[in-house]
Amino acid sequence: MRSTRDRIGEILEILYRDYPQSHTALKFKKPLQIMVATILSAQCTDEKVNQITPSLFRKYQTPADFASADQKELEEEIRSSGFFRNKAKNVINASKKIVEDFKGEVPDEMEDLITLPGVARKTANIVLSSAFKKAQGIAVDTHVSRLSQRLGLSMEKDPNKIERDLMRLVPREDWIDFNYMLVNHGRKICPARKPLCPQCEIKHLCPSAKDFFPESELNL
């Protein structure tokens, strides 16, 4: 198996070919909406979040709207996303801070975004890449974490450490696309329980493929 640095270029080439124009599955029209949707997506599917947000975004259209929301009422509106009490509290408190400290505008810098309640680096990266087209890091969700380890791009388990490894390996101009392409590949080919290695276009670059299937089935 070639070194990680030797493999990353070909991995990127294949991902771009197989998943062109990848982007977040969360539906949004402005930075506030992708921030809220990403907070709701923790331990919840994007599909479920997309069912919740249309009516939510009609009712709460600005940070001031969310900041003044009744927490119990908001909890009921997002209940099906799970962990709704904590999520409602974070959405309200993050919105209050946006109103008070950022003149009612969702900030577009990592150092500012991560000061918002409920917004860690993963959420901040998604907001920056999706809403502002800014590459200030690589969002590490469960798909990116799993595939980074299987592909041998990082041996770390902590998302922040995985992100640091990826930022050293992946060219900066590819940071925005990398998360979304890995997410798509994880959903289509490399799920947690049973990866479809024989169908995988990057199996010859993956040190984990032989852990799931014998070489005779992989056609390496």
Q: What tens digit of pLDDT does each residue of 177-196 get?
A: 999 999 999 999 999 999 99
Question: CA-CA distance, 76 to 78, in Å (whole number)?
Answer: 5
Are 99 and 62 contacting, i.e. CB atoms less than 8 angstroms apart?
A: no
Band of pLDDT at residue 69, cut at 50, 70 and 90: very high
Average pLDDT over every residue of 58-75 = 97
> At residue 217, does pLDDT exceed 80?
no
Q: Domains, the chain, ranges and CATH?
A: 4-22+139-218 (1.10.1670.10), 31-131 (1.10.340.30)
Q: Which residues are catalytic?
A: 122, 141
Give residue-wise pLDDT tens across range 125-136. 999 999 999 999
Count other Cβ atoms within 10 Å, centred on residue 5: 9
Per-residue pLDDT, 91 = 98
Per-residue pLDDT, 1 = 65
Question: CA-CA distance, 160 to 169, in Å (whole number)?
Answer: 14
Are 149 and 192 contacting, i.e. CB atoms less than 8 angstroms apart?
A: no
As a whole-number percent, the residues of the chain with pLDDT over 90 amount to: 90
Give residue-wise pLDDT tens across range 2-33. 778 889 999 999 999 999 989 999 999 999 99
Between the CA of residue 24 and those of 127, 150, 162, what are the distances in Å?
10, 22, 20
